[in-house]
Structure 1
Amino acid sequence: MSLLKQSLLILTLAASVVVSACGFTPVHAPGGTGDALYGEVEITFPDLPDSTGDKNAYFLVRDLEQRLGRASSGAYQLDLTLTTRTDGQAITADNSITRYSIIGAAGYSLTRKSDGVVVASGSETNFTGYSATGSTVETLAGERDAYKRLMRILADQISARLLASADLTPTAAE
């Protein structure tokens, strides 16, 4: 047992030396990506065709602002696209759907306003589900909650991707 603990300690120390030698900086440390982006990202509200989509877009933007900070005139602009669709998952013998999945896809593009350079872009997808076996009120509440959860998941994925991959190195003009 003592040998196992000793080798684990040696492995941990070796890993910390390797990570510190490669220039690893925590995201939220001073000078990290999180520090540079927080409060500097102006999020553009995505245009959607129906009022349900507007609610989803509101929740997505709200959750992103909680993670990245709210900025009215930041150094970066985040453009978003959002699509959702609902699929029936559990179908009974009499063709009643008892469970639904909501699949969402959010595209993003982070642009530096000073020179128009796109510093990060991509898309994230995920899904949530809800049951349709209860009363109408229970089903509608479950559906609403599933959309909110989906927007929170997509916001988490987008903010994590931005913090991990955004190239915020300034240009020669700055």
Structure 2
Amino acid sequence: MTRRAAVLALIGSVAACGFTPVYGPQGGGTALVNAIDLPEPSDDSQYVFNRRFEERMGRGGGAAPYRLTTRIQIDDQDIGATSAGSVTRVRLIGRVFFTLTDTATGEVVRDARTNAFTGYSTTGATVATSAAQRDAQERLMILLADQVIDDLVLHVSNVPTAGSTP
């Protein structure tokens, strides 16, 4: 069997099994694009989370059919130290508890949580350590926003596309 025949056979078998691309015409991802309203950010972490969410899913605005509420929790953990006891590395552990609600009915469509971690070095100057901490927090919020989006797209496949009737 040639490579081309193998690829065509694979594509045919995937299509036959009922596979629907998540961002395809009938996919769950398409229904949520520009359809989710986010709360106003209350701090830098929420701002970065919202920015990343809107980069990938668009801005739903106040008239969006769904509302996403989030509670972000960040803990830090010292994971490296010198023999003198100075901290050399910090791990940031982030959790997002989120609820997607249908704004018309008030029905909870998805209620879940996700978590991720990242770290930064504290061995530089104070300014360098502060910059590394801000960068790590931004990376953590991007990771968490991506995970929330992935969760919603994978688990919320039965929502109608914005503007359509169920």
Tell me whether the two structures share a fold, i.e. TM-score over 0.5.
yes
Task: Tell me what 1:50 maps to.
Answer: none
Task: Tell me what 2:138 maps to.
Answer: 148
Task: Tell me what 1:161 maps to.
Answer: 151
SS in structure 2 at match of 1:25: coil
| 1:87-166 map, 5 Å | 87-166=77-156
Amino acid at match of 2:16: A
Task: Tell me what 1:69 maps to.
Answer: 58
Task: Tell me what 1:40 maps to.
Answer: 35
Q: Which sections of structure 1, spanning at least 5 residues, go unmatched?
A: 1-5, 48-53
Amino acid at match of 2:104: S
SS in structure 2 at match of 1:20: helix
Greater relative contact order, per chain length (Cα 8 Å cut-off, separation 6+): 2
- The question of whether the paired residues in 2 share the 8 Å contact of 1:99 and 1:129 is answered with yes
Q: Which sections of structure 2, spanning at least 5 residues, go unmatched?
A: none
Q: Distance in 1 between matches of 2:3 and 2:118?
A: 39
Amino acid at match of 1:143: Q
Shift in Å, 1:24: 1.6
- The question of whether the paired residues in 2 share the 8 Å contact of 1:46 and 1:81 is answered with no
Matching of residue 16 in structure 1 with residue 11 in structure 2: yes
- The question of whether the paired residues in 1 share the 8 Å contact of 2:92 and 2:137 is answered with yes
Q: Distance in 2 between matches of 1:78 and 1:111?
A: 6
- The question of whether the paired residues in 1 share the 8 Å contact of 2:28 and 2:159 is answered with no
- The question of whether the paired residues in 1 share the 8 Å contact of 2:70 and 2:96 is answered with yes
Matching of residue 27 in structure 1 with residue 27 in structure 2: no
Shift in Å, 1:140: 0.2
- The question of whether the paired residues in 2 share the 8 Å contact of 1:45 and 1:79 is answered with no
SS in structure 2 at match of 1:79: strand
| Cα deviation digits, residues 91-137 of structure 1 (max 9, x gap) | 11111100111000001111112222222221110011110011000
Residues matched between the structures, number = 161
Shift in Å, 1:7: 7.2
SS in structure 2 at match of 1:120: strand
